[in-house]
Structure 1
């Protein structure tokens, strides 16, 4: 076994293309004919809120965060925002102190009323403080997670008529990208809207997966010839009642799952993210030798004599991953290869063809994040948000 050393040891690097992000937003807006709420929760899904916000801040008038802690952490109240800019808090805390602090910035915050319990909590505070808050009501149309059930008429009435609420919006959350399931939830949302003649407020239904399915059928009605039990007119009429869409990862050019990847690409929505990895050495390993830790569940035995590159990444960086693909560039060619043996905490071994390595990518325009997530049997959102766990990572903007 012989080892040759390489140079330029550094950290994993996420490369973001702001021009592609901006163009994706433009494409999505043009195809849906709706305004956008960009979901930047969880540190913009691991892509660094401060970087992403600077790219998008002049393109939209509304973003969504998880809670007040994120709002204060990102210091949005110190940023120069246009007069119409709003921050929707999807899951604001049961924390009276934080809420009282937010009173100072209530002109830019929309509180989500995401449960009846949270309504009662806010109600007690606002009756005492005599403060009016802008709120948006989440309607549960079948996810059975957060939101008021679409048919709980009395509870909804109580919330909509509460004297210290200024109702700014209503919305629901789709649980699936299945077209039949979307139609089921749309029908439930329509039931809610029919019972409450709400006017002049924001209505948002579609998320990233819903947007892709909507565009797929809206621009190719022939697709509906293959569907049963869906009323095409109702489907589009209900979506037409909304004036916003709420998207998280789609404007980065990432589809919510591998099955939607081709559809996303066909619409011209491009990947704006690359993850470049440093390599710290190349080893020559012989047939039947084992690479890495011995593990009964992961085969690390070489089938032939070959070269193995040591890549500076591991489960401390990507805790969900078991088997990774890599896009390798050397001085002759580029190709897709894979890891061999089990991942360690900081180093992963990969099979290569030539020791004169130039660049190694975990994610780029050829090897997608959707594909990596699919190969590891984990949700795309989980894979992307795992970037938050990087112990050391550099973020740069691609020119």
Structure 2
């Protein structure tokens, strides 16, 4: 084992990523292309290697959060189509132009500011707020919304190429009200697109499918499918079943640094929240903690896989270490590899499972794996 693997590391399976891409493609209509969402360092998986694999898989559309991310993607993908989903200060219009980045336009006022700073043309997709309530053009009447889009299109230095929106409750496919809400969101943006087309403005793209939309609300009118969390093998809404079998892309591993026997009454970690209730419990200290992105909120709640067995965390998770009860794992010794996220034998622990234990989502877990944890790429 390489020396830097002897503490804590994340294994990223590029083979699993490729498999997931193929599964996602199988769900899409033939006129819908994948737009890979690789913001936040590819959801914590490491942008550079993820981009290489996605390019090998034929992906040429990418979505990011901000200009810095967009420029970084451009360096790796000179011929890619890159969309910034959120806000970029208008005074950076020239950087958008120079790097051939597509900017999400949030309002006519914002478009005018971009136009005033642009030297030639800024490529844009116009964001419509169909019910998410964050950013975008907000109208109840598709025709009036189309009027506003036309005003944006008319600006000299704005090159409007598409419309997009974001689903709010598409991850609740078993709830009739949520399904109706999602349908209404999709209907609205499609209506705006069609009205503009009837008026002579045939935009290249109209897209509204996020990960949950791809899985549960697929429609051929969406020219792009913004695949985010499902690309990495996680659920939009754990544990709602997915229509395809996805593979976990990231695993988190560490090693046992010490094994000791506890006597009745012995306490473990800060606050003495755990006290052994009998003699002979085998405790193993593991080289990972909340500074690595393994949340302190998992103290006394989560299991870790040791020799294919689930072993509970005892006591509080520390900054750099945690302690397990490995009494049932048999013969655990210093240097043994443990799996905090991933599969070991017949057992698997996912980021979604961990998230459910402390009231968050798998997205936050994988994005939170810190930079000091090296990413090791396999497959």
Gaps of 5+ in 1: 1-6, 216-238
Work out whether residues 279 and 312 of structure 1, in 8 Å CA contact, stay in contact via their aligned partners in 2: yes
Q: CA deviation at 1:372?
A: 0.7
Please name the residue that 1:311 is paired with.
286
Please name the residue that 1:162 is paired with.
155
Per-residue deviation, residues 237-266 of structure 1 (Å, max 9, x unmatched):
xx2211210011211111123123xx23x5
SS in structure 2 opposite 1:149?
A: coil
Q: Distance in 1 between matches of 2:236 and 2:288?
A: 24
Q: Distance in 2 between matches of 1:155 and 1:137?
A: 10
Q: CA deviation at 1:196?
A: 2.4
SS in structure 2 opposite 1:309?
A: strand
Q: CA deviation at 1:211?
A: 1.5
Q: CA deviation at 1:53?
A: 0.8
Residues 10 and 95 from structure 1, CA distance in 2 versus in 1: closer, same or farther, beyond 3 angstroms? Answer: farther
1:94 matched to 2:89? The reply is: yes
Q: CA deviation at 1:92?
A: 4.2
Please name the residue that 1:182 is paired with.
182
Residues 70 and 371 from structure 1, CA distance in 2 versus in 1: closer, same or farther, beyond 3 angstroms? Answer: same
Q: Which stretch of structure 1 is more off in the superposition, 136-145 or 269-278?
A: 269-278
The 4+ residue runs of structure 1 with deviation greater than 3 A are: 76-82
1:12 matched to 2:8? The reply is: yes
Work out whether residues 36 and 226 of structure 2, in 8 Å CA contact, stay in contact via their aligned partners in 1: yes
Residues 304 and 191 from structure 1, CA distance in 2 versus in 1: closer, same or farther, beyond 3 angstroms? Answer: farther
Residues 200 and 117 from structure 1, CA distance in 2 versus in 1: closer, same or farther, beyond 3 angstroms? Answer: closer
Please name the residue that 2:221 is paired with.
241
Please name the residue that 1:28 is paired with.
24
1:336 matched to 2:310? The reply is: yes
Work out whether residues 8 and 278 of structure 1, in 8 Å CA contact, stay in contact via their aligned partners in 2: no
Work out whether residues 17 and 397 of structure 1, in 8 Å CA contact, stay in contact via their aligned partners in 2: yes
Q: Distance in 2 between matches of 1:339 and 1:23?
A: 32
Work out whether residues 325 and 336 of structure 1, in 8 Å CA contact, stay in contact via their aligned partners in 2: no
Q: CA deviation at 1:339?
A: 1.0
Please name the residue that 1:121 is paired with.
113
Q: Distance in 2 between matches of 1:100 and 1:374?
A: 43
Q: Distance in 1 between matches of 2:257 and 2:230?
A: 34
Work out whether residues 90 and 114 of structure 1, in 8 Å CA contact, stay in contact via their aligned partners in 2: no
SS in structure 1 opposite 2:317?
A: coil
User: Which of the numbers 312, 316, 324 marks the counterpart of 1:350?
Assistant: 324
Aligned-pair Cα RMSD in Å? 2.3
SS in structure 2 opposite 1:137?
A: strand
SS in structure 1 opposite 2:316?
A: coil
- TM-score w.r.t. the length of structure 1 is 0.81
Q: CA deviation at 1:141?
A: 0.6
SS in structure 1 opposite 2:69?
A: helix
Q: Distance in 1 between matches of 2:5 and 2:86?
A: 41
Work out whether residues 70 and 83 of structure 2, in 8 Å CA contact, stay in contact via their aligned partners in 1: no
Please name the residue that 2:176 is paired with.
none
Please name the residue that 1:139 is paired with.
128
Q: CA deviation at 1:25?
A: 0.5
Please name the residue that 1:250 is paired with.
230
Q: Which stretch of structure 1 is more off in the superposition, 284-293 or 110-119?
A: 110-119
Q: Distance in 2 between matches of 1:27 and 1:93?
A: 33
Q: Distance in 1 between matches of 2:69 and 2:342?
A: 29
User: Which of the numbers 273, 277, 286 marks the counterpart of 2:250?
Assistant: 273
Residues 294 and 28 from structure 1, CA distance in 2 versus in 1: closer, same or farther, beyond 3 angstroms? Answer: same
Size of the alignment, in residue pairs? 349
Residues 309 and 62 from structure 1, CA distance in 2 versus in 1: closer, same or farther, beyond 3 angstroms? Answer: same
Work out whether residues 288 and 294 of structure 2, in 8 Å CA contact, stay in contact via their aligned partners in 1: no
Gaps of 5+ in 2: 174-178
Please name the residue that 2:99 is paired with.
105
Q: Distance in 1 between matches of 2:183 and 2:196?
A: 20
